[in-house]
Amino acid sequence: MQENNADMFEDFDEELFEHYRFEAGKGQAPLRVDKFLMNLVENATRNKIQQAAANGNIFVNDEPVKSNYKVKANDVVRVLMKQPPFENIIIPENIPLNIVYEDDTVLVINKEPGLVVHPGHGNYTGTLVNALAYHFENLPLNSSERPGLVHRIDKDTSGLLVIAKTEWAMADLQRQFAEKTTEREYVAIVWGNVEQEEGTIESYIGRHVKDRMQMAAFDDEEKGKWAVTHYKVLERLGYVTLVACKLETGRTHQIRVHMKHIGHTLFNDERYGGHLILKGTTFTKYKQFVENCFQILPRQALHAKTLGFEHPVTKEFMRFDSEVPQDMQQCIEKWRNYAHNSIHDLE
């Protein structure tokens, strides 16, 4: 599958950023959303607001609406756009970095869960980019004008990232990702017993038709970008499975979307429904057990464990491996004990 230069590995362009947010008062009489926003957004025209609605950028209570939607009391109206509300404003912040490797050209970081990679909706400070701006000067900009970033992982996903420290490194690493010569392997806990020992998931991934905060898998190339994920079962743990996922492409939420697509949503992935009990029994003790696991691992069970790439200067292939974080390890151990005890009870 051919990719052009604008489609360099990670889908930085698939995000939506919040520009405006309004909550209708208790006494709000029904009013078209375009008129509602015109009354509140400075210098807005009805035509621009209607165009934003037509593009799926206006949300009421987290659902996209058309311009004729009637705003009611207590509705939360948001305008989300692809571009940030302000750009190129990065405040350096003294945030510690877990550096795995560093030289004059590249930097490999093991990102903690909960750390946002770059500024965006609701997170304009406290991100990895803010930390990079503090610790390093004159990092090269990627196509989205984010310093040093060649690729990214989600806020609540932990694991390895490579950062470019020079223009040459940025161009060379982006080329490697685009040509699929890098290696990236994730470890994930997913709901259900994955039937096949290994397999490949292929689809187009694009914005979900109804929930614009989600991505979805499609058969139609006009609805998204081509995505390929290879998976392998590492351990079966009863009602969940520990899997390894290798990425051939790097779409937004790719593993989360693809595993849900085959019926195995990531454990405790709230955005995609994995925070619900999707497999198991109706016993109260089981429900308590799962909720305890959610507390131990309060995020999607996904870790970027292995990262490999050719060094932009030496041309040596470098491979880095990271330990599965403590929260995931504890969750895996709990499921391992549960699965063992369940089998023992049946004997």
Confidence of residue 12 (pLDDT cuts 50, 70, 90): low
| Block residue for tokens 């490579």 | 162
User: How many domains are contained in the chain?
Assistant: 2
What residues does 191 pair with on adjacent strands?
A: 240
Query: pLDDT per residue over 281-323, tens digit each?
Result: 999 999 999 999 999 999 999 999 999 999 999 999 999 999 9
Both 128 and 67 in a single domain? no
Distance CA 301, CA 210 (A): 25
Query: What is the biggest distance separating any 2 CA atoms in the chain, rounded to whole angstroms?
Result: 72
Both 23 and 129 in a single domain? no
Of 122, 27, 112, nearest to 75 (Cα)?
A: 27
Both 74 and 166 in a single domain? no
The Cβ of residue 250 has, within 10 Å, a number of other Cβ atoms equal to: 21
- Which residues have CB under 8 Å from 178's CB, separation 6+? 3, 5, 7, 8, 9
Residue 339 sits at the vertex; the CA angle it makes with 336 and 344, to the nearest 5 degrees, is 125
Both 182 and 296 in a single domain? yes
Judge whether 91 lies within some domain: no
343 pLDDT above the threshold of 80: no
Of 346, 214, 345, 238, nearest to 290 (Cα)?
A: 238
- Residue range 87-101: average pLDDT? 87
Confidence of residue 15 (pLDDT cuts 50, 70, 90): low
Confidence of residue 1 (pLDDT cuts 50, 70, 90): very low
Q: Which residue range(s) make up the domain with 231?
A: 99-346
**Residue 63 Cα distances to 42, 60, 75, 76, angstroms:** 24, 5, 11, 10
Q: Which of 11, 34, 154, 156 is catalytic?
A: 154
74 pLDDT above the threshold of 60: yes
**pLDDT score of 55:** 87
Q: Is 75 a catalytic residue?
A: no
Confidence of residue 207 (pLDDT cuts 50, 70, 90): confident
Both 139 and 217 in a single domain? yes
- Residue range 198-205: average pLDDT? 97
Both 70 and 103 in a single domain? no
**pLDDT score of 25:** 87
Of 114, 102, 149, nearest to 318 (Cα)?
A: 102
User: What rounded mean pLDDT belongs to the chain?
Assistant: 90
Q: What is the CATH number of the domain that holds 43?
A: 3.10.290.10
Considering only 43-52, 168-177, 190-199, 271-280, which range has the smallest mean pLDDT? Answer: 43-52
Judge whether 196 lies within some domain: yes
Judge whether 9 lies within some domain: no
Question: Contact at 8 Å (CB) between 24 and 75?
Answer: yes
